[in-house]
Amino acid sequence: MDFGLTLEQRQFDDSLRAFLADNLPMDRLRVLAESGTGYDETLWNNLTELGLHGLLVPERFGGAGLGILDAALAAEALGNAAAPVPYLGSVVMATLAFINSASEAQQDEYLPMIAAGECRFAVAFPSLAGQTGTSSVQYADGRLSGRVAGVADAGAATHFLIYLPDGHAAVVDAANASTQFHRSIDRTRPIVDVTLNNAPAVRLDAANAPLAAAHRVLDAGRVIVAADTLGSAQHMLDAAVAFAKERVQFGRIIGSFQGLKYTLAECVTALEPCRGMMWYAAYAQDALPDEARLTACHAKAHLSDVARDVARLTTEVHGGMGFTDLLGLHFWFKRISFNRQILGGPERCREEAADLQGWKSRA
Amino acid sequence: MDFGLTLEQRQFDDSLRAFLADNLPMDRLRVLAESGTGYDETLWNNLTELGLHGLLVPERFGGAGLGILDAALAAEALGNAAAPVPYLGSVVMATLAFINSASEAQQDEYLPMIAAGECRFAVAFPSLAGQTGTSSVQYADGRLSGRVAGVADAGAATHFLIYLPDGHAAVVDAANASTQFHRSIDRTRPIVDVTLNNAPAVRLDAANAPLAAAHRVLDAGRVIVAADTLGSAQHMLDAAVAFAKERVQFGRIIGSFQGLKYTLAECVTALEPCRGMMWYAAYAQDALPDEARLTACHAKAHLSDVARDVARLTTEVHGGMGFTDLLGLHFWFKRISFNRQILGGPERCREEAADLQGWKSRA
Amino acid sequence: MDLTLSEPYRILQAEIRDFIRQHGDKSPKVGGGRKRPDQKTLDWQKRLVENGYAGRTIPKEYGGFGATPDVMAAAVIAGEFARANVYAGLTNQGISMLVPTLLELGTDEQKRQYVGPTIRGDIIWCQGYSEPNNGSDLANAQTKAELKDGHWIVNGQKIWTSSAHYADMMFLLCRTEPDKSKHDGLSYLLLSMKSPGLDPRPLKTMTGRNEFNEVFFTDVKVPESQIVLGRGKGWYVANVTLKHERLMIGDAGKMTARFEQLISLLQTSEIDGTKLIAMPEYRDRLLRLQGEVMAWKAHNLRLLTEAAQGVDSGVKRMIIKYGGTMLGFRLSSLAVDALGAAGLPYESLGEDAEDDDATTWNIDYMYDVGLMIGGGSTNIQKNIIGERGLDLPREPKAAGRA
Amino acid sequence: MDLTLSEPYRILQAEIRDFIRQHGDKSPKVGGGRKRPDQKTLDWQKRLVENGYAGRTIPKEYGGFGATPDVMAAAVIAGEFARANVYAGLTNQGISMLVPTLLELGTDEQKRQYVGPTIRGDIIWCQGYSEPNNGSDLANAQTKAELKDGHWIVNGQKIWTSSAHYADMMFLLCRTEPDKSKHDGLSYLLLSMKSPGLDPRPLKTMTGRNEFNEVFFTDVKVPESQIVLGRGKGWYVANVTLKHERLMIGDAGKMTARFEQLISLLQTSEIDGTKLIAMPEYRDRLLRLQGEVMAWKAHNLRLLTEAAQGVDSGVKRMIIKYGGTMLGFRLSSLAVDALGAAGLPYESLGEDAEDDDATTWNIDYMYDVGLMIGGGSTNIQKNIIGERGLDLPREPKAAGRA
């Protein structure tokens, strides 16, 4: 048994973080955040060169064939940099949807494009994920109609992958969908409402148990969001610790005040165990099928709650500077807010965990 | 409008607190707590002289005819002194039960005895109060059979007042009941299980709406318990503040450390508004019938939660001394624990509040 | 304890209900309020002052309604406006902080000049307290004012000045006695935001709006008479002002209004066709908050009664800002969770128009974090509660430090 | 990351299952453990040591099983015992704190003499750290030991000494170098509780049991060789010991076991015929705790892996006591709430017999508060996390104070 990262994982993590540090300084982040599309062509293409997009794509389709833990580590790094990259939908959820539910021919058509960064999928789960916002889609004879509200990673999507209530997914070309774009509270990722009017759609029919396959995609998505939240919260905590070591008030470095010191101690006590939790949940998606759903629900819910506290407290540590736009700390605060609400909030995730364990029967 | 106490209320409060300070020093409390019966004859009789027992009894039956706010203030003082007195059952709930549900003849028989401290009622609410512990009683032809678990204030009861599921109450002489006595976690009040086997019982039949009348008794009981909790928590907070001003560690008075200071600041910020809440809820029982049940549920629930935190944190402030038996601080810690669980815990009280407001219908 | 309405208050209540029936349609929308009031709001405010529903206890000579302080009347007014969901009047730093400070410590001339226009919303004030390097340590203000030829010449820089970009006037804490100790060297000046040499630069906050400013002073001239109470008394005056600010921030009326909005939000939001209020995992949080709000309202009634009796409420008053800010944040936290993914779209229209509900709640959620920092941070509040409220000893001075 | 079982571990797992099938009926009840172990427990412990399920990595020459440290094996053993709800062996201050300290810093003679009997449960240790006037400030110990004729002569008083009333030995922090500075003047001695002049007096705690003692020393003679590491090294040795204590207190296995018990409690407790686990207001708390326990278990696996690799886990290790104590309290809080009124009867049978479930949970609930205080209070833990873990500056020394 080895509960830790491999050398390869640490090396990829180092290179991804170094790349993001170089390519996404605060002034660049501000520019990209202004449009709020959650996408930048240069950044996207450079990440392709780094091999990010093919992380989960099997080697025979041009990817690296790695696992969800690898994908989650990358998500943590992206969250840590507040990177405006439609990673969740395209790199993770769409890839897994094709692996789990598509025919060999469909895989052959799309997976190499994903790995090459040539397409960007946004994945929508009306109802299954338990988001607020009314959504409803119907599939008939190769066409999709209806509306899906609150789709993430769709700011520059080339394709939509829409899940139907029965767990089947269908691919729609973005050109055939009508979208309403919203800059979101988190300017590094938008929210898009998608309307489909008899849009030509390719259904993925290869899964024996479509609902279970859909859940594998959703579960992985939740772990990825949890990892992104962890990276974001860690950024805020690191920034607050650094600030507390420099800032002088009342003639003292503020980090020497017990009040502030204890706040930071509480943050690290809550946040650090979340890293192990995230690793475990990510590993479980590939290796421990019995625990996959439960750990995904809990990782999403617990990280959301811990990170909300960390976001507030670390902003407070920065004093007035934390509340202004000047330091840009708020990008992470808002990324944590965004992550909390997509793919089902903590309340929903925990209720699913209760269902999984049969804890809702009264007698 | 005047949201405060009258001069008479403050004077009675002063005299009751002075009496308790004189008559219940720590060494005396220890002696009384050893038996765990929650009753001492001398203390009981002295409180009769002070007029405590007839507080709510109408003047024509020999009482003071005061209101539930007066009774709640006395409960706060008793909680503040951790007094082993069966006050809740006899002085408050039984009196109100007779006022609300008894015939003139029944009132004439029992209320003067209550006011004179000549009997001690324990009041039991199988099911209605939402306590844990299985209870079930049946009434037929002037006789009661069944079992009620977890009856408070019954350590030296002369009578039981047992509520039936339909809201009617019946009086049973303690001599006709079989009781199992337990010292409880709170040695100032025991827990008693009562078994009735065709016990002769006098039913109180005068209420037009028996369930509503029963609820008035339960609601008032919950407010009284909340007031007792407030008094207990206030004692712990005062003790912690005093300790923090005296104790020296690391060469400093410990109250000068921010960590400890902030803990105490948080306690007072949470606890002090509970006093207004308790006043309001107590006042509502007599004066604002539309708000009586809702405020009672919330006062019981909110005080339980705030006091749990205060109990833990103020014990911590005392360091090792707080954890030992030496200071006796634990009497209040445990009184808070006891109060939380009787007459329905916070979860139950809040669910009743939801019911009252129609918040449980799904569509 | 008596919460019943005696005859005069029942008459007042009837009058208010009549007023609202007649004029309620002219009320601006409830909530918001971090913008310069528009004409509709000013008209409404004037109407409120004329009828004694705002500025009620301000003496007539200073532009108020001249009623004697009466907690019951205030409670009836607040209650009726809240029940009808009608705008109960402006609350801003001028009205809530500067006006009571002037009434307590100002000269007759200062009161005449500023109180009336301020309560009518014609003069908007901003607060010149914090500086870039003193954050929570307000007494350490370095912006200085020198008296020359009958004018104070002000030089320095302030920060976190809310509404400076649209305010008319500023109350300013500055150093006038450099030879005196930290706390005794300060004075409190009133100056026009149009003074030459005064340069407010907007400071965007995390909400995306310009809620604060940096304000630069270069030889700004302020007439000598524009001082409150006198030279070296600035720290005392500022503390009087701050006391009022803390009460404003923890306002129970705001909590109640917010809680009512939260109930409707949970009653209207759905997941998979089920109302959130019917889902125990949301409802339980709402219920906990209802208990907290109840306690907060009752506490507020207690403070109002004590204030009417002239009692100093001590620690009971000092907990208001800290407790109120935290409670406000818990309320807005549940709101953004109830909005969920559907509440993520965010475009604040700033001062140009009404934001949508989701954006407003998100702004509240963030602004509440700002309130934990501004007006004396959470930690400063806990120091005040501990040291002044509970009489715990102060932190010893560090060896060999300032 | 690899949590799969390779061949040797699958064999180990099968062996353990076989062992439990054969001997599980001899296991003492899981839980409790704040008493002197009875004969049943001692027999069981001996069996565990012989089979390598306790004291597994302790060298054979010191009475252990002599296996090389192997996190995976440890995890398999803990997992199988927990799954079968079988007693996984003694955990006490001797085993968890003194044995690793001696293995790290003791002489060969000390190891030979104490390690084996301690892990078998034949020697029970208590810890002589706190004193009446130094509470959390352990380095300020005033109990002194003077070397005379080959013996340390100990005088003074200790307090909060858990299990002193039944312990055989004590590890003692005392002042041997009065001329040296506070931290450099201490030594660490091992002494018999039967030494003449040593007087332990039970100190009843809020649980009603004698979980702690005051211990008085009057000219207690301790052979010179009973020192660990050497004169003036006491503070260093004590910190090595405390590091192990913090890990013991935040033990993830204990949290998991407690959480499992909590699930069954909620599945068996009822109000009005409805199981508590079906009531969302209780269930939601259980679910939140499940998330926390999951994180805690994973964190523990991470620490075990790092320990096996010889990595110093730094702040990840320092958070264990504080985080674990608080989590433990939240678990026992839900348990006493689930027990409700039916759980209020309370009679602790002390060392004479098994307490009933309700009493045991109530004791846990209170004992957890004690853990927040003992072994370095919550505030001390936060200082350690902040200063040693996050490298934040220490509190400046107060001017003109000690």
Chain D touched by A10 (CB under 8 Å): no
Chains that touch D (3 or more CB pairs under 8 A): A, B, C
Residues 44-83 of chain D whose Cβ lies under 8 A from any Cβ of chain B: none
Name which of B284, B153, B269, B141 is nearest B216 in CA terms: B284
The stretch D84-89 carries a mean pLDDT of 89
User: What gap in Å lies between CA B69 and CA B227, rounded to an integer?
Assistant: 10
The tokens describing A251, both together, are: 């003639």
Catalytic residue among C61, C214, C245, C351: C245
Asked: is C250-389 a CATH 1.20.140.10 domain? The reply is yes
Q: Which domain holds residue B233?
A: 210-356
What is the per-residue pLDDT for C115? 97
Report domain extents, chain C.
7-90, 125-232, 250-389
Find the closest chain B residue to C320 by CA distance: B269
What is the per-residue pLDDT for D164? 86
The tokens describing B259, both together, are: 């960590």
**Quick check: B219 pLDDT over 80?**
yes
- pLDDT-derived band at A4, boundaries 50, 70, 90: very high
Residues of B in Cβ contact (< 8 Å) with D377: 316, 319
Task: Kindly state whether residue A318 falls inside one of the protein's structural domains.
Answer: yes
Instruction: Please give the single-letter amino acid code of residue C311.
Output: V
Chain A touched by B354 (CB under 8 Å): no
Q: Determine whether the interchain pair A258/D306 forms a contact, defined as Cβ–Cβ distance below 8 Å.
A: no
- pLDDT-derived band at C209, boundaries 50, 70, 90: confident
- pLDDT-derived band at B80, boundaries 50, 70, 90: very high
What is the per-residue pLDDT for A11? 96
Question: What's the mean per-residue pLDDT of chain C?
Answer: 89
Residues 205-244 of chain A whose Cβ lies under 8 A from any Cβ of chain D: 241, 244
Residues 341-370 of chain C whose Cβ lies under 8 A from any Cβ of chain A: 341-347, 362, 365-366, 369-370
The answer to whether residue D80 is catalytic is no
The stretch B191-218 carries a mean pLDDT of 96
C190 phi and psi angles, rounded to 5 deg: -115, 125
Find the closest chain C residue to D396 by CA distance: C398
Q: Please enumerate in sequence order all residues whose Cβ is within 8 A of that of B128, keeping only pairs 6 or more positions apart, or say none.
A: B163, B165, B167, B214, B215, B218
Strand partners, D145: D154
Q: Which residue has the higher pLDDT, D212 or B362?
A: D212
**Quick check: B192 pLDDT over 60?**
yes
Per the CB < 8 A criterion, the answer to whether A97 and A110 are in contact is no
Find the closest chain C residue to B303 by CA distance: C291
Per the CB < 8 A criterion, the answer to whether C257 and C360 are in contact is no
| C227-252: pLDDT as tens digits | 999 999 999 999 888 777 666 555 77
- pLDDT-derived band at A363, boundaries 50, 70, 90: low
Instruction: Please give the single-letter amino acid code of residue C133.
Output: N
Find the closest chain D residue to B331 by CA distance: D206
| A112-164: pLDDT as tens digits | 999 999 999 999 988 888 888 878 999 999 999 999 999 999 999 999 999 99
User: What gap in Å lies between CA C64 and CA C44, rounded to an integer?
Assistant: 15
What is the per-residue pLDDT for D353? 67
Residues of C in Cβ contact (< 8 Å) with D281: 280, 284
Question: What's the mean per-residue pLDDT of chain D?
Answer: 89
Name which of A319, A330, A245, A241 is nearest A26 in CA terms: A330
Q: Pick C3's closest partner by Cβ from B261, B283, B299.
A: B283
Instruction: Please give the single-letter amino acid code of residue A275.
Output: R
Q: What does the longest C-alpha to C-alpha distance in chain A come to?
A: 73
Q: Determine whether the interchain pair B259/A257 forms a contact, defined as Cβ–Cβ distance below 8 Å.
A: no
- pLDDT-derived band at D401, boundaries 50, 70, 90: very low
**Quick check: D70 pLDDT over 80?**
no
User: What gap in Å lies between CA A326 and CA C201, rounded to an integer?
Assistant: 13
Q: Determine whether the interchain pair D295/A301 forms a contact, defined as Cβ–Cβ distance below 8 Å.
A: no
What is the per-residue pLDDT for A285? 98
Q: Does the structure's ipTM exceed the value 0.85? A: yes
Determine which of B2-16, C188-202, D246-260, D340-354 has the lowest per-residue pLDDT on average.
D246-260
| D193-236: pLDDT as tens digits | 999 999 999 888 999 988 888 999 999 999 999 999 999 999 99
| C181-200: pLDDT as tens digits | 999 999 999 999 999 999 99
Percent of chain B as helix, strand, coil, to the nearest 5 = 60, 15, 25
What is the per-residue pLDDT for D250? 57
User: What gap in Å lies between CA C31 and CA C354, rounded to an integer?
Assistant: 10
Q: Which residue has the higher pLDDT, C279 or C401?
A: C279
The stretch B94-100 carries a mean pLDDT of 97
The stretch B252-259 carries a mean pLDDT of 94
Task: Kindly state whether residue A160 falls inside one of the protein's structural domains.
Answer: no
Residues 60-119 of chain B whose Cβ lies under 8 A from any Cβ of chain D: none
Burial of B286 (0-12, 13-18, 19+ CB in 10 A): middle
**Of how many residues is chain D composed?**
402
Q: How many domains does chain A fold into?
A: 1
| B296-322: pLDDT as tens digits | 999 999 999 999 999 999 999 999 889
Chain C touched by B280 (CB under 8 Å): yes
Chain C touched by A11 (CB under 8 Å): no
Q: Is A205 helix (H, G, I), strand (E, B) or coil?
A: coil
C-alpha to C-alpha distances, A334 to A62, A186, D77, nearest whole angstrom: 35, 5, 44
User: What gap in Å lies between CA D123 and CA D137, rounded to an integer?
Assistant: 28
- pLDDT-derived band at A362, boundaries 50, 70, 90: low
Residues 255-274 of chain C whose Cβ lies under 8 A from any Cβ of chain B: 273-274
Q: Determine whether the interchain pair C1/B283 forms a contact, defined as Cβ–Cβ distance below 8 Å.
A: yes
| A250-309: pLDDT as tens digits | 889 999 999 999 999 999 999 999 999 999 999 999 999 999 999 999 999 999 999 999
Residue to substitute from C281, C286, C394, interface D, most D β-carbons within 10 A? C281
Task: Kindly state whether residue B133 falls inside one of the protein's structural domains.
Answer: no
User: What gap in Å lies between CA B146 and CA B199, rounded to an integer?
Assistant: 10
The tokens describing D362, both together, are: 């109530």
Q: Residue C383: left (phi > 0), alpha (psi -120 to 50), or beta?
A: alpha
How many angstroms away from the CA of A119 is the closest CA of chain D? 31
The stretch C327-332 carries a mean pLDDT of 96
Q: The domain that contains A284 carries what CATH number?
A: 1.20.140.10
**Quick check: C375 pLDDT over 70?**
no
Residues of B in Cβ contact (< 8 Å) with C251: none
Catalytic residue among D245, D260, D292, D351: D245
Q: What is the pTM of this model?
A: 0.92
D125-232 has which CATH code? 2.40.110.10
Task: Kindly state whether residue A155 falls inside one of the protein's structural domains.
Answer: no
Angle separating helix axes B330-341 and D320-339, nearest 10 degrees: 50
Burial of B327 (0-12, 13-18, 19+ CB in 10 A): middle
Residues 160-199 of chain A whose Cβ lies under 8 A from any Cβ of chain C: 182-186, 191
User: What gap in Å lies between CA A120 and CA A91, rounded to an integer?
Assistant: 8
**Quick check: D402 pLDDT over 50?**
no
Q: Pick B337's closest partner by Cβ from D130, D159, D336.
A: D336
Task: Kindly state whether residue B160 falls inside one of the protein's structural domains.
Answer: no
**Quick check: B59 pLDDT over 50?**
yes
Name which of D179, D183, D162, D182 is nearest D171 in CA terms: D162
**Of how many residues is chain B composed?**
363
The tokens describing B287, both together, are: 């004066």
Instruction: Please give the single-letter amino acid code of residue C47.
Output: R
How many angstroms away from the CA of B206 is the closest CA of chain D? 27
Chains that touch A (3 or more CB pairs under 8 A): B, C, D
